[in-house]
Chain A
Amino acid sequence: MVQISLPEKSQIKKGKYFKDKTGSNNLKKVNVYRWDPSSGENPRIDTYEVDMDNCPSKVLDVLNKIKNEIDPTLAYRRSCAHGVCGSCAMNMAGKNGLACTTPHADIDGDIDIYPLPHLKVKKDLIGDLDGLYKQYQSIEPWLKSSSKSKVTEIFQSKEDRAKLDGAYECIMCACCSTSCPSYWWNGDKYLGPAVLLQAYRWIIDSRDEERQTRLKKVADELKLYRCHTILNCTSACPKGLNPAKAIAEIKKMLATANI
């Protein structure tokens, strides 16, 4: 059901203000969403004044600087720091992306940082992605081949391999799914762009033998057709992939194939 406003316990309050102590002239205000599970209070926005003269170029560097030098209680996920692991996906300046690949110079004015939208928050910028992973599991993202030999490799032509380009690069950071209004309001049933892109990746794999079953499984009013080509997913993807097109291709296959 479409719910525009946030529940009462999720309403955001004004938080603390951390004044700059370095005396720098090049300050930037960073507003960060905070929620502490042990306090039982509502989430709040803390504002930090950060010295930009001594800060590397990405938003993740800003967060690291805050955590190391200003407020060690800040919690967020990060790992590889160069756009490969997908841990630091968050909402920056109103758009989802990876903190480690988003330059803070691209953001005008204050930097607003929120967790990925419409998720249960575990702490600060950490959202609960369990639902998404369960959905990912439900599409059975592994090669299914019964007839072919288990000991020799299964060959694939260059053309067939090329079909996987733009689908296999996905790092499951959830930027796309959590940017989708359809997924916000039907996330329990609608699979969402990230999972559907992966479903597509296995449907078009020439080595997979369960294409029909996979298509049938995904052909569902709620699982697939809640995509209304809002295209927030494609504009959010930090890897430059196109989940919206993959979903359209699945729809096209279902419209033209005989199943």
Chain B
Amino acid sequence: MRFHFKTSYDHDIRLFPDWWTFFVYGALLAVMVALPFLMDSFFLSEVTNVMIWAVAGLGLMLLTGTTGQVSLGHSAFMALGCYLCANLMFAGLPFLIAFPLAGILTGLIGALIAVPVLRLHGVYLAIATLALAIITEDLIVILRQWTGGVNGMFAPDIMIFGTEVNRWVNPEYWYYMTLAIVVIVTLIYVNLLRSPLGRAFAAVRDSEVSAQAMGIDVSRTKTIAFGLSCGITGLGGALMGFFAGAFNNETFTFLLAIQLLMMIVVGGMGFIHGAFLGAIVIAFLPQGLSIVTDNVRVLNIPGLEFGAFGAILIFFIIFEPMGLYGRWLKIRTWFELFPFARRDMFRRQKSYLKTERVR
């Protein structure tokens, strides 16, 4: 068991609380960098896919996990990021400029949308964002001048410093590009959580009333959270569209937004690790299921993927609301405190619900 002796105030907000954590994450990064030499291109593109889902999931995690606002409409912002990036590149901007610019623009538009939408609470917010996602599906068809409508659009070639990054020609370049983006986004996220703004996010999530009492401008904080979240998700959407190579209105349906939400629930709501663990589950679930159905013919039913996904989610919501990362935390605590860990340490407290309709 490790003890943190805090000898200065900076210890509380260090990026890595001790050398051991630094070493663990350094080792993880080293493994990730070495991965293209260890794996063939099929698995490499699977890992790339996981990382792309993780970027989009980090965006939603910032809003739902950290700030506590549920969105069922993040597919809208994935679409926005993707089409913005493609259109900026068609306008002649290089990928290295178009990609961050698409993220920033998506974030700004998201923040604009957030101003009216975030006055809503809980369920109302979920419904409004769901409507947003559905409207976006139709808007993609209507605005065919920029989106290609139902026929969709082919992603332009990505050139970075004169080298073409193509999924089929050089998958390891795609992998490294995604890895770099994931690392940057994760660093932004971690640093955000250490900043006053990140603390304000968490305060708003835990209690709006007490956050207000601490002098936090709740609506401003929520708007910034929404904007940042949309920006990051937009980057994820751009990566997803470009990775697929072609995208149309059916790439970004509202089911994608629901999948994204479920992904962070399975991974572990409110933890950065949760976005990654959830991404692993969601990216490998179809493969895992197809292996199962190949061996067990009886299970070969159309629609099994969503059914299994729903069942997994129900299981998690009821038995492990903290998700996979929460399970890991419990296991780790058990070992760290051995033999003093008690089952009730993580028990959900009994609570009673009150109406939101009487304020």
Are chains A and B native binding partners rather than an unrelated pairing? no
Q: Using CB atoms and an 8 Å cutoff, list the residues of chain A in contact with chain B.
A: none
Q: Using CB atoms and an 8 Å cutoff, list the residues of chain B in contact with chain A.
A: none
